[in-house]
Structure formats: C-alpha cells, structure tokens
Amino acid sequence: METVLDLWAAYGSTFMFAIVNAFFALSTYAVLSTGVLSFTTVVFAAVGGFLAAQMVTHLGISVYLAFPCAAIGGGIAAALVAAAFLRLESHWMALASLALVLITRVTALNAPVLTGGVNGMVVPLTVSPLDLSILLAIVALVFFRMHRSWYGLASRAVREDAAVASTMGISPYKIQFIAFIISGVVGGIGGAALAFTLQFISPETYFIGIAFTMIASAVLGGSFHWAGPIIGALVFTALPVVTQALVPAIEDVAKGVVLLLIMIFVPRGLIDPRAIGLRRAAKKRQQTEEAANA
C-alpha cells in the first residue's frame, strides 16, 4: 500500500494531466475525423475553463454542475465558430483558427472582470482523479457509440471525399457542423478540467501550448479511431516523465527522437483500424489456407 501511495505521489499529477490532455485530443479528433484541421479547441477550452471558474467562484455552484455549464458554453462557442469558419477552405480554416486563438488570448488579457486579466484567477475547487476518470469514460463511451452510428459512417465518408459523400446524400456542411459542436462540448469540458486541476488559470493557460499538445496527441495516437487520441494523450503526457527519468541530460532531444520514430514507422498513429483490419484479414486467409491443406 505504501508503494502505491509513493507512486501516486510521484506520478499522480501526470495521470491527471494525461486525462485533461485526452479531452483536448478528443476535441481535436472530433473535427479531424471529418477532414477539418482546426485549432479552435483552445478557444473552446478557454470558454469552458473561465466559465467554470467564474461559476464556482461567484455563484458557488459545485464542480458537478460546472462541467455541464462548461460543456454548454463550449458548444455555443463552437456553433458560432462553425457558422463562420465552415465557409473557408481547409488551409484557410487552419490559419483562421490560429488567428482566433491569438484573438482569444488578447481578449482574455483585456477582460479582467471575466478572466482576471494578466493576474489570472484562483479556482477555489478541485476535482478528484476518480471523478475525472469517470468523466473521461463517459465521453469515451459517447465517441464509441458515435463511431458505430450513422454519424460515424457519414463523418468517415466526408473525410475520405466530401464530393463523393455529397453524391451519396450526405451533407458535408451538416456533418462538419455537428463535429464542431461535439468538439466545442468536449473542449469546454477539457478547459474546466484543466482549471480544476491547476486551481489557477490565466490567459496564458489557454494558448499555443494546448494547440501543440492536442494535435500531437491526436496524430500520435491515431486520428482514424476515437481511441487513438486517448492513447496518444497518455503517451505524450508520460513521455517527458520517462525521458527525464532515463536520460535527464538530453530530455528534450530524447522526447523529440521518440516522437519522430513513431511518426516515421507508425505514420497513421498507434491505433490504426486499417492495419488492424488487414492483419485480421491476413490471419483469416492463412487459417482458411491451412484448413484447406489439412
């Protein structure tokens, strides 16, 4: 028991941040699964984080009510962003989303009543690891059900070829709009989770660092399956801890080398449904041949 407590004392914060990063990665995956590269998860996280912090600080609501409010706030922000951004081409959308991240930071810095400005905000409540784990499990279950639903099939069709999907009666605009709403809801939850984990937030909390983390986690884990971003977030969060323990002198170099090796040798991510399907088909074909030769 003492060993478990020692391990938690050493790596408990890493576990918490891995869960938070999983929310951000899933938020990015939601739009990436429909062929849209967007950094707006950072904006949705900021909306959810500051909204949750304000509500628990000034209205005295509980953490359990703050998360739904953050999700709603992120969803509303996503609807507004989608209405404006879905008119843009893919590369212009990526640039516009980066610009929006910068605009959000400047706005947060100049709205001290809402965000605390340069001084930030102290968040008086925290969230337990168990509650955060249960929340991630619920979100993962929703993505699991969506992956097997009509929406999941439609989003994969839009990602592969939007023009072909249109001829099949699928509206790319509608599917991508829904994807943005999902991204906003999950991003808002992630922003609130980060606020309750750090217990202090400022405009710098929700900035480019989150954008890098969410993209790296989604690509590292695999952007073709909902489980990929979760695995990618766990690996990406744990990697600095492992490299610091093994090679502290060249921690950043080692982390970069590991990421490069994964990208080179596993370009579709650690979770690749196509590779899994090909292996199953090959195994089944081999079993069929062995049965025929027996």
Domain definitions of the chain by residue range: 2-237
What's the whole-number mean pLDDT along residues 255-259? 70
What's the rounded Cα separation, in Å, for the pair 51 and 28?
Answer: 20
Cβ burial, residue 260 (10 Å; 0-12/13-18/19+): exposed
Please, which residues bridge with residue 121 across strands?
201
What's the whole-number mean pLDDT along residues 211-216? 83
Inter-residue contact 93 to 85 (CB < 8 Å): yes
What's the whole-number mean pLDDT along residues 58-62? 90
pLDDT per residue as tens digits for the range 113-171: 889 888 889 999 999 999 999 999 999 999 999 988 999 999 999 988 888 888 888 99
Q: Which residue has the tokens 């707006």?
A: 40
Percent of the chain having pLDDT more than 90? 48
- Comparing 136 with 89, the larger pLDDT belongs to 136
What's the rounded Cα separation, in Å, for the pair 59 and 222?
Answer: 40
Q: Which of 157-161, 185-189, 203-207, 273-277 has the highest mean pLDDT?
A: 185-189
